[in-house]
Amino acid sequence: MADTGKDMLLYWGSGSFPCWRVMIVLEEKGLSDCEKKLISFSDKGHKSDEILKLNPRGQVPTFKCGDIIINESFAACLYLEDTYKSQGPPLIPSEPARKANVLQRMFEEPTLTKKARDDILLLYMTKKPEELDQEKMTKSKAALKEELALWEGYLVKAGGTYLDGGEFTMADAIFFPSLAILVRCGLKLAPTFPKLAAYYDAVSKRPSVEKSWPPHFRDTEGKPYLADL
């Protein structure tokens, strides 16, 4: 009998790409019955006593599996793959070259996150338009465009639907939420990045991604911060 997620608890926030990663992996591994508690960032739910006693950083995801507590999305995803390897598709290939490629793409993703979120999106969200350094913003957007061109090239090299070619892997579970949030923030993938555009369309339809899609994304429009990229 397959293991279930009934002994698990995930605190998560809608639109948090680290949370989304973990939720995709839970779906892929057949652990969708994991108890999930949605917090409100605007109400500072991630700083509640309930979360702080499990995660002193006051962040989500905060993930509990039995007596094990894991509060980093990469660590939670790798733990789930290792512990439930026989359930669902293998997300880390066993063949050395493919495994190396998947791990490389996984641990390369934070570079995209920094160039998008830290260098651009957080500035839009925390500053008034007149306070933005437009020259710096132009340079940051050029750097993000160069970064996206690298990922476009990885998909060309992979020669298939996903980052490792024909199979969905942990690299996709890690990378796709970040890409989806950029699209929500106005990024137009086509025609500049045709492979990324096709990738986004394909992965959006994957059941694990559809089921874990941030609920407020369905009901509201994102801000067009990246429309001029």
pLDDT 10s digits, 155-192: 999 999 999 998 999 999 999 999 999 999 999 999 99
Q: What is the DSSP letter of 48?
A: S
Query: Is the pLDDT at 1 greater than 80, yes or no?
Result: no
Give the number of other Cβ atoms within 10 Å of residue 113's Cβ. Answer: 19
> All domains of the chain, ordered by start, with CATH?
8-84 (3.40.30.10), 96-217 (1.20.1050.10)
CA 140-145-151 angle, 5° bins: 130
Assess contact for 51 and 11: CB atoms under 8 A: yes
Instruction: Tell how many helices (H) and how many strands (E) occur in the chain.
Output: 10, 4
So what's the pLDDT on residue 89? Answer: 96
So what's the pLDDT on residue 2? Answer: 55
So what's the pLDDT on residue 180? Answer: 97
State how far the Cα of 76 lies from the Cα of 28, in Å rounded to an integer. 14
Structure confidence at residue 6 as a pLDDT band (50, 70, 90): confident
In 47-193, alpha helices (H) = 49-52, 73-83, 96-113, 122-126, 134-158, 170-184
* pLDDT tens-digit map of 64-119: 999 999 999 999 999 999 999 999 999 999 999 999 999 999 999 999 999 999 99
Side-chain half-sphere CA neighbours of 198 within 13 A: 10
Question: Can you give the pTM of this predicted structure?
Answer: 0.95
